[in-house]
Amino acid sequence: MRVLLLEDEARLSGAFARRLRHDGFAVDEVATLAEVRTAVLDVAYDCLVLDRHVPDGDSLDLLPELARAEHRAPVVMVSANGDADARIQGLSEGADDYVAKPVRLDELALRVGKVVTRRDPAADAAPVIRLGPVSIDLARREVTRDGQAVHLSPIQYSVFEQLVRHRDRMLTTEELLEHCWDGRRDPFSNPLHTQITRLRKIFKGALRIASVRGAGYRVELDAGPPDTIPSRPPLG
């Protein structure tokens, strides 16, 4: 999951970003409304975390623009003004959640995860997806196999979560890179292959991550065939 974080105080932005990355989110940090407007044109973010008052304005003024965008990401508003009237205003203007500062870092990460899950039709009413012996709890961000916890690194969880959420179709390499890595990634590198290889080992015998040559990946129950699907049927 890729998050855009707007916070003009560098120390606080760094603390928020570190916690979100620890929980498996890819995070792009910006400090102005102008930078938000530019960033959302380039990336289909899964969530926007917006400090309400920044040097070039009030983030509430952005919400109507964001609502008209082709990809409408959920918004968590963070503000030093956390009284009841301010919260009601923020929610009525279109924020999906409104958090008062100071906010605990673990609470912020939890709220981001919950608004993403609520807006995701794949989660349904009970945000637990089961694929054979493997279950993924989207709200708790936990994976089990045969009832036993599966320990994934933050980036492994992020890739696996994307594959599971979109298990009905193939995900392209570009989609996975965009949603699971942030702007710090070397644009000339492709770290996805390494993570796919590790996930295949972790879920061997339960799930298979099949690849379509030159196209992308999808997750399915492991029935034994090879992991690579030909890009076209064999001749003859």
In the chain, what are the domains? 2-119 (3.40.50.2300), 123-229 (1.10.10.10)
Condensed to tens digits (0 to 9), the pLDDT of residues 51-62 reads 999 999 999 999
pTM for the predicted model, two decimal places: 0.74
Long-range contacts, stretch 93-96, CB < 8 angstroms, 24+ apart = 93/60, 93/63, 93/64, 94/63, 94/64, 94/66, 94/67, 95/50, 95/60, 95/63
Condensed to tens digits (0 to 9), the pLDDT of residues 147-202 reads 999 999 999 999 999 999 899 889 999 899 988 998 777 766 778 999 999 999 99
Looking only at Cα atoms, what is the longest distance across the chain? 71
Q: Packing angle between helix 105-119 and helix 10-22, nearest 10 degrees?
A: 60
Condensed to tens digits (0 to 9), the pLDDT of residues 56-83 reads 999 999 999 888 887 889 999 999 888 8
Q: What angle do CA 173, 179, 181 make, to 5 degrees?
A: 90
